[in-house]
Amino acid sequence: MTPYEMGRISSFLIKHRKLEDRADKRGLQREEKDLALVLREASIENIRDLEELMSGQGFSLITLNSFDVPGIGHGSRVYLLARRADSLCPLLDPGRLAERMDPSNGRATAAKIWFTQIWLIHLDLLYTQRDRGPHERHKWLDASFTRDMLEQSVREHINGHVRRLNPAELASSEVYEVLTSEKGADIARYTKRFLDLMCEGGMLDERSDGVYRQSLLSAVEIKENFDRTLAPLMVVGSDSPAAPQLATVSHTLLTRRDDNEEQGSEL
């Protein structure tokens, strides 16, 4: 692998986050086929160099084959560029969430709230409803849902839980305010934008009209990074009596919130 080829592979992976080396080659781009061949013929030293290059940019280069995870054919390989929880990649932009979720109103906070809430509900469909732990990468092939299912879950969450909360206790919660001000078509509109964003970001694949499945990249990233991202927040949120001490410590460490912090900065 020449430095030029390594640069091409790096560029392709940063853009698509996935490079497939399949025997049938159907649906693969021309560039992907060429780069897959380069990677297949690369020496171990070359692959190590590429891993280090990617590591320096905040990624882990993960190579999977048919012995690693279901969904990869015999003799095929998939190269994934997973983000690392310990270093942020400057080449990726998560800042367009609000813009894409609510392009007309420009209400960045409300857009983020909608995205975050739908995102957690979608994780509930992919993991909790299937009795699947975040480390269980191998179940990604069965992790699918329809747009209707997601909409229904979000509706149940808002109508069945959020609207039943005591408003007096939640006067300062902007999340409560945004969700309860939902009009009839908001859920469908935000859900559609959420799904488009997730597909564009490579987290979901649209299998057919209105049917979505978790991508292998998403399953891998959740497995690799759950313990350092969401797990501490779930301990904070847990009501179980077994975790109060850790929850207290984690809350202090993770949030460090100022009492006077503006509500606009909350989600």
Considering only residues 204-223, where is the footprint of other proteins by CB under 8 A? 218, 221-223
Can you tell me which of 48, 106, 200, 244 binds other proteins, judged by CB under 8 A? 200
Can you tell me which of 18, 32, 59, 112 binds other proteins, judged by CB under 8 A? 112
What residues from 43 to 62 belong to the interface with other proteins (CB under 8 A)? none
Residue 63 binds other proteins (CB under 8 A)? no
User: Are 107 and 264 within 8 A, CB to CB?
Assistant: no
Three-state DSSP at 94 gives coil
Q: Cα–Cα distance between 139 and 142 in angstroms, integer? A: 6
What residues from 179 to 198 belong to the interface with other proteins (CB under 8 A)? 179, 197-198
Three-state DSSP at 34 gives helix
What residues from 136 to 155 belong to the interface with other proteins (CB under 8 A)? 136-139, 153
Instruction: Kindly indicate which of the ranges 40-48, 66-74, 144-152, 184-192 contains the residues binding other proteins, using the contact rule CB under 8 A.
Output: 66-74
Taking the complex as a whole, how short is the minimal distance between the CB of residue 26 and other proteins, in angstroms?
22
User: Are 251 and 234 within 8 A, CB to CB?
Assistant: no
Q: Cα–Cα distance between 122 and 124 in angstroms, integer? A: 5
Taking the complex as a whole, how short is the minimal distance between the CB of residue 38 and other proteins, in angstroms?
11
Provide φ and ψ at 123, rounded to 5°. -65, -35
Residues in contact with other proteins, counted by CB under 8 A, come to a total of 89
Q: Cα–Cα distance between 135 and 257 in angstroms, integer? A: 30
| Residues 6 or more apart whose Cβ sits within 8 Å of residue 191 | 118, 147, 150, 151, 154
What residues from 71 to 100 belong to the interface with other proteins (CB under 8 A)? 74, 83-85, 88, 90-94, 96-97
Residue 130 binds other proteins (CB under 8 A)? yes
Taking the complex as a whole, how short is the minimal distance between the CB of residue 255 and other proteins, in angstroms?
5
Three-state DSSP at 241 gives coil
| Residues 6 or more apart whose Cβ sits within 8 Å of residue 155 | 187
What residues from 23 to 42 belong to the interface with other proteins (CB under 8 A)? none
Residue 164 binds other proteins (CB under 8 A)? no
Residue 117 binds other proteins (CB under 8 A)? yes
